[in-house]
Structure 1
Amino acid sequence: SGPGQASLDLSLCPSQSTTMSGELPPNINIQEPRWDQSTFVGRASHFFTVTDPRNLLLTNQQLEDARKTVSALRAEQGVVPPGLTENELWRAKYIYDSAFHPDTGEKMVLIGRMSAQVPMNMTITGCMMTFYRTTPAVLFWQWINQSFNAVVNYTNRSGDAPLTVSELGTAYVSATTGAVATALGLNALTKISPLQHVSPLIGRFVPFAAVAAANCINIPLMRQRELKVGIPVTDENGTRLGESAQAAQQAIAQVVVSRILMAAPGMAIPPFIMNTLEKKAFLKVSPSVSHPALALICLFFFSLVFATPLCCALFPQKSSMSVTSLEAELQAKLRESHPELRRVYFNKGL
C-alpha cells in the first residue's frame, strides 16, 4: 500500500475476488456499496460484510486508518491515495461502514454496531430461553435484552440530529419499561387457567413473542425524535432537500419488520429442540448443560450469523418514497424548487 497506508491491515474483513492490477477503475463510487443495492443478493452481500463479527476484533488504529482513507477519498472527490489497490479500498470502506455512523460520521459504540449482533444476541437469547420459568429471571433478562436493543436502536438511528441527555434518558426508560412490561404480561398469560396446564413448550415461545412485541415499542421510542422532527431526505445524488416525518415512519416500520424476522430463526426453532433435549437423560442428570446446548443450537441454525445480514437486506438501507407520500408542506416546497423530482431517498437506519 501507498504512503499513510502501511498500517491498514484489513485481513479480518472478507476478501473479494477481483483482479488486482494496481490501477483502480475510474468509476469507483465510494459513497455507495460495492454491490448492486437494487437486488436482494447485492444487499445481502453488502450486509454480510458490514455485520461480520470479526470486525469487532479490529483495532482502533485499523479503524482510524480506514476512516482516513475513506475521508480522504471523499474530500478529494475520487482521488485515490497512491498504491492503494481496489480490494484495499473496498475493505477500508467496509471497515468504515461497520464502525462509523453513515449520517454523523461518529464512531459507534462497540456493542451497538451491527457486527456485535451475533455474539451479543446469541448470549442473551440463550439466557432468555433457559431462564424463563420465574418472574425475576424473565424480568432480568428482558431488561438486559431491551437495554441492549435500546443501545443498538439509538446507535443505528437515521439522521444526524442529536438527542439531549434528557431525551435519551426518557426514551431509554420508556422503551425498556414498555418492552419489559409486555414480556412479563405475556409470561403471566402462560400461568393462568386454562393455560397453566399446557405444555412447557408454550412457555419457551414467550421470549420470542415478547421480543417481537417489544421491538414494536423499543424501536419507535428510541427513535422518537425522528418521528417528531423527521429525517433528512435527499435526491438521487445525495443533495439534502429537507426533513420528513413520513420518511421516518416508513424507515422505522421497515426496521421493526426486519428486527422481528431477525430474531425468529434463533427463538422459534430452538424451543422445539430444547424441549426434546430436556427429556433426555443427560440433561436431566446435568441441567447445567442446557444453556451451552441452547447456545450451540442457536449457532447451528445460523440464527444470527445468517439471519442478521439477510434480514438487514430485506429493505435497501438507502430507502426511497414517492414525493406525493411526503408531508404537504414539504411536497409544496419540492414542487417549487424541484418540479421534476419524483422520489426522495433517505437512510432508514438498521
Structure 2
Amino acid sequence: TDLRYTGVKCTLQGIVPPGLTENELWRAKYIYDSAFHPDTGEKMILIGRMSAQVPMNMTITGCMMTFYRTTPAVLFWQWINQSFNAVVNYTNRSGDAPLTVNELGTAYVSATTGAVATALGLNALTKHVSPLIGRFVPFAAVAAANCINIPLMRQRELKVGIPVTDESGNRLGESANAAKQAITQVVVSRILMAAPGMAIPPFIMNTLEKKAFLKVSPTSISASTLSDFKLLVFATPLCCALFPQKSSMSVTSLEAELQAKIRETYPELRRVYFNKGL
C-alpha cells in the first residue's frame, strides 16, 4: 500500500524510486487519474467519480423502475437521480474556470427542476398506456433529463469556453465551440450508458412480477437492482470509451478570433485537443 501511494506521488513528480515496478507505477497512475480532476488537479467528490457510477446508479435506477406508478414516487426518485447526476456532471466538467456559489446553485436548481419537470410530464402522458410501456417512462425521462441536466450544470463552459491545446499540451486559448462538442459527446454517452439498465429490465420485470414470489415489493426491488448491476458493469466503461476523454477538433471549427490567434503562433497546426469531461 505504501509503495502504491509512493507511485501516486511519482506520477505527480515524475520520479521513480528504487523498488517500484512498472506495473505498480501504472496502477498508481490509474488511481490518480480516477480521483483527481485532469484540468484543475483537485481531488474529486467521491460519489461524483466514474467509479461510483455502478453502485449509485444501480440503486437509484432499481428504485425508479419499481416506484414509477405514483406522482410522488416519480418526483422523489427523479429528484434523487437528477441531484446525483448534477454532482457527477459538476465533478466531471471540463475546464479549470472556477464556479461561484451562486453559479453552482443556479445551475443545480435549473438542471434538477428542468429534468424533474420533464420526467413528470412524460409520466403524465403515459397514464392510460399498458404497464409495459409505462415501465419505459423512466428511461425516456432519464434520456430527456440528460439533455437538460448536463448542459445546465456545465453552462459556464458554453459561455466562457474550455481550454484547447496542441498535441503537446500547450494551451492555445478557450473555445465555446469545443465545449459544445464536448457536452454533446457526454450527453450521447450518458444516454447510451443508461439504455441497457433501463431499456432491458422492463421486459424482464414485467414478466417476473406476474409470478407470486415477486409480488412483494422488496423482492422486486432486489431483482431489478441486480439486473441493473449486471448491465451497468459493462455499459459504464464501454460508453465512457465511446469518445476519447482527450477529444479533438479541427482548427477550422473554432471561433474565428481563436483561429486567427492560433494561425499567428502555430500556422501549421491543424487540430486542437481538449478534455471533454465524462
Same fold (TM over 0.5): yes
C-alpha deviations, 1:57-95, integer Å up to 9, x for none? xxxxx5xx454221111xxxxx42222110011000000
**Which residue of the other structure, out of 13, 28, 35, is the alignment partner of 1:92?**
28
CA contact (8 A) 2:112 2:149 kept: yes
Distance 2:126 2:179 in 1: 36
Which of 106, 120, 126 is the equivalent residue of 1:190?
126
Q: Residue 294 of structure 1 aligns to which amino acid in structure 2?
A: S
User: Does residue 215 of the first structure (1) align with residue 210 of the second (2)?
Assistant: no
Indicate the residue corresponding to 1:134 in structure 2.
Answer: 70
Distance 1:66 1:220, change over 3 A: farther
Q: Secondary structure at the match of 2:174?
A: strand
Match among 222, 226, 234 for residue 296 of structure 1: 226
SS at match of 1:101: coil
1:190-234 per-residue CA deviation (whole Å, 9 max, x = no partner) reads 11xxxx1x3101111010000000000000000000000000000
Q: Distance in 1 between matches of 2:18 and 2:207?
A: 60
Tell me whether 1:345 sits opposite 2:241 in the alignment: no
1:107 and 2:48 are equivalent in the alignment: no
Q: CA deviation at 1:8?
A: 3.1
State the distance in 1 between where 2:17 and 2:268 align: 38
Partner of 1:70: 11
Does residue 328 (structure 1) correspond to residue 256 (structure 2)? The answer is yes
Could you tell me whether the CA contact under 8 Å between 2:37 and 2:43 is conserved in 1?
Answer: yes
Structure with the higher helix share, 1 or 2: 2
* Matched residue, 1:201: 132
Change (3 A) 1:66 1:189: farther
Runs of at least 5 residues in structure 2 that lack an aligned partner in the other structure: none
- Secondary structure of 1:321 counterpart: strand
Q: Which amino acid aligns with 1:7?
A: D
Please state whether the residue corresponding to 1:305 is helix, strand or coil. Answer: helix
Q: Which amino acid aligns with 2:9?
A: K
Aligned 8 A contact 2:7 2:24 in 1: no
Task: Return the alpha-carbon distance in structure 2 between the equivalents of residues 89 and 248 of structure 1.
Answer: 32
> Unpaired runs of 5+ in structure 1?
1-5, 10-61, 74-78
1:117 equivalenced with 2:53 (yes/no)? yes
Equivalent residue of 1:141, what SS? Answer: helix
| % same residue | 87
Equivalent residue number for residue 92 of structure 2: 156
Distance verdict in 2 for CA 1:154–1:102, change over 3 Å: same
Find the counterpart in structure 2 of residue 8 from structure 1. 3
Task: Please state whether the residue corresponding to 1:315 is helix, strand or coil.
Answer: coil
Q: Within 2, Cα distance between the matches of 1:7 and 1:67?
A: 10
Match of 2:157 in 1: 226
Q: Do the aligned partners of residues 110 and 66 (structure 1) sit closer, same or farther apart at CA in structure 2, a change above 3 Å counting? A: farther
**Distance in 1 of aligned mates of 2:187 and 2:54:** 18
AA matched with 1:349 = G
Using the alignment, how far apart are the partners of 1:343 and 1:199 within structure 2? 50
SS at match of 1:233: strand
Q: What is the rounded CA distance, in whole Å, between the counterparts of 1:308 and 1:121 in structure 2?
A: 10
Deviations 1:101-147 (A, max 9, x none): 01111110000000000000000000000000000000000000000
Q: In structure 2, do the counterparts of structure 1 residues 224 and 66 end up closer, same or farther at CA, with 3 Å as the change threshold?
A: farther
Task: Work out which of the residue numbers 231, 237, 246 in structure 2 matches 1:309.
Answer: 237
Query: What is the CA distance between 1:288 and its match in structure 2?
Result: 2.8
SS at match of 1:140: helix
Matches of 1:178 and 1:251, distance apart in 2: 21
TM-score (norm 2): 0.98
SS at match of 2:3: coil
Q: Which structure 1 residue ranges, 4+ long, deviate > 4 Å from structure 2?
A: none
**Contact 1:320 1:346 (8 Å CA) reproduced:** yes
Letter of the structure 2 residue corresponding to residue 92 of structure 1: A
Superposition CA RMSD, Å: 1.1
Tell me the TM-score normalized by structure 1.
0.78
